[in-house]
Amino acid sequence: MSKKAIIIFLFLTILIPLPGQKIVPTPADLYKDAVEFMYSEDYKDALFILLNLQENGYRNPNTSYLIGECYLNIQGQKTRSIPYLKEASQKVSLGYKGNTLEEAYAPVKTLLYLGIAYRINNDFDNALHYLNSYLNTIDDVEKDERNLAEFHISRCNNAMEMIQAPSEFSSTTLPDEINTAYSNFNPLVTNDERVIYYMNELKFYDAVMTSVQADAGWQPPENLTPKVKSDGDHLVTGLSADGKQLFFVAYDPYHRGELYTATYINGAWSELEKLNNQINTQFNETHASVSPDGKTLYFTSDRKGGYGGLDIYRSYLTGSGEWGKPVNLGPLINSPYNEESPFLSADGRNLYFSSQGHYNMGGYDVFFSALGEDNHWLPPVNIGYPLNSTDDDLFLFPLGDGHLAYQSRYSAVNGQMDIIRYHIKKIGKPARFFVNGKITLQADSGYDASRVQVAFIDQLTVDTLVVKSLNEDGSFRQKLPAGNYNLDFSEENQKLLTKNLNIPDYFPHNNLVIQEEITVPSRKARRDTFYVKDVRFAFNNCKLDEIYRTYLDEVATILRKYPELVVQTDGYTDALGSTGYNYNLSLMRATAVADYLKEKQILPDRIRIQAKGETNPVALNKNPNGTDNSQGRSYNRRVELIFSGIPVEVILLPINDVPESLRLR
């Protein structure tokens, strides 16, 4: 019999004394039981008692507050807390005790909970009203309470941004063979989508189910619970790539969450086996999944040494077949809040997980982190609204590269959790990055900052997103989504200069401000602006590419126009090869550029040649872990043009197009 069934039975026997029974619990006893259930997070059982107390005449701000708190902690029913919390909010007091059923007030925390409930209901105006009311009521010294309210205020603001730039996807609810009248959740699917494992919430226990998909559709599911010897409290969390190993979590009242595994051997499932002491501790372990090659375990734990709440850890399989000492994935992935349900994509290049932190619109949001060139995870990216909601979104199981996924969601039709298949076409890209900049006008430039405008142009679509005038001091501020942009500055249709701006999807949320200092050349004293860039070469090559011949034609033109100009060609190589070889190769590159300019009637005495070899790299030759960085090396194979004798009529602007992630200087 389930805990809920036992509680209902006991409650009814309390209210209806048996023959000869003289001891009848008082409403005060029932109230005490409800509070104890809430302390142990048994909100459904507490709710059952509190609703019955209200039906029997004990309706007051305190019981309404407690009912609201219960609803707020029950999945699929959180917005039902609003009328109870709103009623309780009419009579809150800083002196609230809550020790007795006759308590005449509700705690000030009612305002916080009501704000959270409105946020989950997407009513952001009311949410912000009550969250700010809560902040205005509590003392400044209550830092934890203030941080929690500000946390939810930021979630409201994020949600409003994300709703404006939704993700694109299609979804299919699995048929009745899988989605029964009871909740079905924690779906795990083999990569060929032929077999599914999931949980089915039956009347008295949670069953581990599996089904095979044939040409006719999903076949009648099989209950694996008796085969793996689960007691109904074990939930599936992970699946091996070959579909022959399952991972489970079970709640033990003495050891909290513990992780298990079962294996399909010789046509049958083994009984559950607890993972070793490197994984299971005296702390809470809540989820385990395995990499496609079966050699790395990703799991969640709130053990000591983490970054806050549940963190994601990684453990490698040792030569003896045991899981080794875990390593925390670090603060880039693990926020000060809880992380949950980590899964790797089939190619191992993306880590999907849920988090209460990062750039978040709800309780838990689903994120993914891509594996960078140095085999480190990049900052997490929110998969976007409405894949993520203002409530908790957990356990998104990816297939392939992550464009296909399975997840369970509460159905508005039956109030239960149904399993859904997603085809994700595009993640949402809300405008969440502030670009702050300022241009500096030379005193004799003749330009007026108030007449200068900046246009933000999407490099991909060539669409002008916004045009705005600068402030009197030459500053500007604009909010943008991730992407590549040109910032075009102009005055009265005369283009002054263009600044390139790249904001990657994985740009860290704690670095929203991008400061750009731009100096506009004088239009009185200088008439020619020339952009100087490097001439680059293929690996182990000194032949000029055609695109650089066009550029050197422009260099020759400016040299012919201004005979005072002198140019020096400094040749460089990447770090591969011996020092002597690289010196000679850099000399040949510098000479190739000089010879081309001489062919364009530039006198030899105006051209100087320098061989620099592999010195002074502008980009990474190697990654921090010592592996080769071929992209960075491509920027080091170059010839730099160094000009001298520059007349006042000319301004030379160097262009540094080396990506910031590779740049050394």
> Helices 579-599 and 546-561 meet at what angle, rounded to 10?
60
Q: Which pLDDT does position 518 carry in this prediction?
A: 62
Alpha carbons 571 and 612: distance in angstroms, whole number: 6
For the segment 287-291, the average pLDDT, to the nearest whole number, is 97
Q: What is the mean pLDDT of the chain?
A: 89
φ/ψ of 61, rounded to 5, equals -55, -35
For the segment 608-629, the average pLDDT, to the nearest whole number, is 93
CB-CB neighbours of 323 under 10 Å: 22
Tens digit of each residue's pLDDT (9 = 90 or more) over 30-39: 999 999 999 9
**Percent of the chain with pLDDT strictly greater than 90:** 71
CATH (one of 2.60.40.10, 3.40.140.10, 3.40.50.1820, 3.40.50.720) for 433-520: 2.60.40.10
pTM of the predicted model as reported, rounded to 2 decimal places:
0.72
Identify which has the larger pLDDT, 449 or 406: 406
Cβ atoms 444, 525 nearer than 8 A: yes
Tens digit of each residue's pLDDT (9 = 90 or more) over 44-67: 999 999 999 999 999 999 999 999
Confidence of residue 5 (pLDDT cuts 50, 70, 90): very low
Q: What letter would DSSP give residue 17?
A: P
Q: Is the pLDDT confidence value at 404 over 90?
A: yes
Q: Which pLDDT does position 14 carry in this prediction?
A: 47
Q: Is the pLDDT confidence value at 338 over 70?
A: yes
Q: Which pLDDT does position 253 carry in this prediction?
A: 55
Alpha carbons 149 and 138: distance in angstroms, whole number: 11
Residues 6+ apart with CB under 8 A from 574: 539, 614, 617, 621, 633, 634, 636, 637
Nearest to 589 by CA among 663, 641, 659, 521: 641
Cβ atoms 191, 179 nearer than 8 A: no
Cβ atoms 555, 641 nearer than 8 A: yes
Q: Is the pLDDT confidence value at 474 over 60?
A: yes
Q: Is the pLDDT confidence value at 70 over 60?
A: yes
Nearest to 173 by CA among 442, 435, 418: 418
Nearest to 303 by CA among 256, 358, 370, 233: 256
For the segment 320-338, the average pLDDT, to the nearest whole number, is 95
Nearest to 616 by CA among 646, 599, 601, 636: 636
178-187, 432-441, 501-510: which range is least confident on average? 501-510
Q: Is the pLDDT confidence value at 282 over 60?
A: yes
Of 129-133, 253-257, 368-372, highest mean pLDDT: 129-133
Q: Which pLDDT does position 255 carry in this prediction?
A: 56
What are the residue ranges spanned by the domains of the chain? Answer: 3-163, 181-426, 433-520, 528-654
Q: Is the pLDDT confidence value at 516 over 80?
A: no
Q: Say how many Å lie between the first and final Cα of the chain, rounded.
A: 68
Number of separate helices (H) and strands (E) present in the chain: 12, 37
Confidence of residue 3 (pLDDT cuts 50, 70, 90): very low
Amino acid at the residue 444: D
Identify which has the larger pLDDT, 521 or 232: 232
Q: Which pLDDT does position 649 carry in this prediction?
A: 74
Q: Is the pLDDT confidence value at 235 over 90?
A: yes
Q: Is the pLDDT confidence value at 224 over 70?
A: yes
CATH (one of 3.40.50.1100, 3.40.630.30, 3.90.1150.10, 2.120.10.30) for 181-426: 2.120.10.30
Confidence of residue 520 (pLDDT cuts 50, 70, 90): low
Tokens of 628: 């080769």
For the segment 622-641, the average pLDDT, to the nearest whole number, is 93
Alpha carbons 7 and 48: distance in angstroms, whole number: 9
> What Cα–Cα distance (Å) separates residue 283 from each residue in 95, 252, 273, 357?
35, 11, 18, 21
Alpha carbons 575 and 553: distance in angstroms, whole number: 30
Q: Is the pLDDT confidence value at 510 over 90?
A: no
Alpha carbons 395 and 340: distance in angstroms, whole number: 8
For the segment 237-265, the average pLDDT, to the nearest whole number, is 88
What architecture is domain 3-163? Alpha Horseshoe (1.25)
Q: Which pLDDT does position 615 carry in this prediction?
A: 93
Tens digit of each residue's pLDDT (9 = 90 or more) over 76-91: 899 999 999 999 999 9
Amino acid at the residue 597: L
Cβ atoms 483, 515 nearer than 8 A: no
Q: What is the full DSSP assignment across 339-383?
A: EEEEEE-TTS-EEEEEESSSS-SSSSEEEEEEB-TTS-BPPPEE-
Q: Which pLDDT does position 8 carry in this prediction?
A: 45
For the segment 596-605, the average pLDDT, to the nearest whole number, is 93
Query: Domain 528-654 is classified in which CATH homologous superfamily?
Result: OmpA-like domain (3.30.1330.60)
Residues 6+ apart with CB under 8 A from 192: none
Confidence of residue 309 (pLDDT cuts 50, 70, 90): very high
